[in-house]
Amino acid sequence: MKDGMIELGTPEGMEIGFTNDLFEGWLWKKGRYIWISMIISKRPNAGNVERLFRNIQKGGFGIKVPTPLGTMVHILQKVGFKQTLEMITLPRRSQYELEVWIKKPPSRMKK
């Protein structure tokens, strides 16, 4: 999967279960991580967000969620994300610290 936006219903989105019938929003892939930029579950409390996280991890990616609000914080805590602060550089070279919750990519199995 190439870096960039992952839109609903695209082949990249379908690969991880990011579909129009379950979500609104968009994701971003950058390196070994998929950023949950903004998503809304169309069926709250059905487990679709947790399933999306599992699918992303099964694909070998880590997950980053910047500045989550409300229910998302509880979901992230429940499924083992760690709260961190990251320095973000903006186009004009200004930097600021951003709250980012992280679940690292799965470790590769040794043969």
Flag whether the pTM goes above 0.75: yes
In this structure, are residues 76 and 65 in contact, taking their beta carbons and an 8 Å threshold?
A: yes
Q: Are strands 62-66 and 33-41 parallel, antiparallel or unpaired?
A: parallel
Higher pLDDT: 100 or 95? It is: 100
Flag whether 110 is in a domain.
no
Is 109 among the domain residues?
no
Residue 77 in any domain: the answer is yes
pLDDT for res 85: 93
Structure-token match 């880590």, residue found = 62
Q: Distance between CA 26 and CA 18 in Å, rounded?
A: 9
Residue 91: which CATH number? 3.40.630
Question: Residues of the chain with pLDDT > 70: what percent?
Answer: 96
Q: What is the mean pLDDT of residues 66-75?
A: 91
Q: How many domains does the chain have?
A: 1
Q: Mean pLDDT over residues 36-64, rounded?
A: 93
Question: Is 32 a member of any domain?
Answer: yes
- The mean-pLDDT minimum among 16-20, 43-47, 87-91, 102-106 falls in 87-91
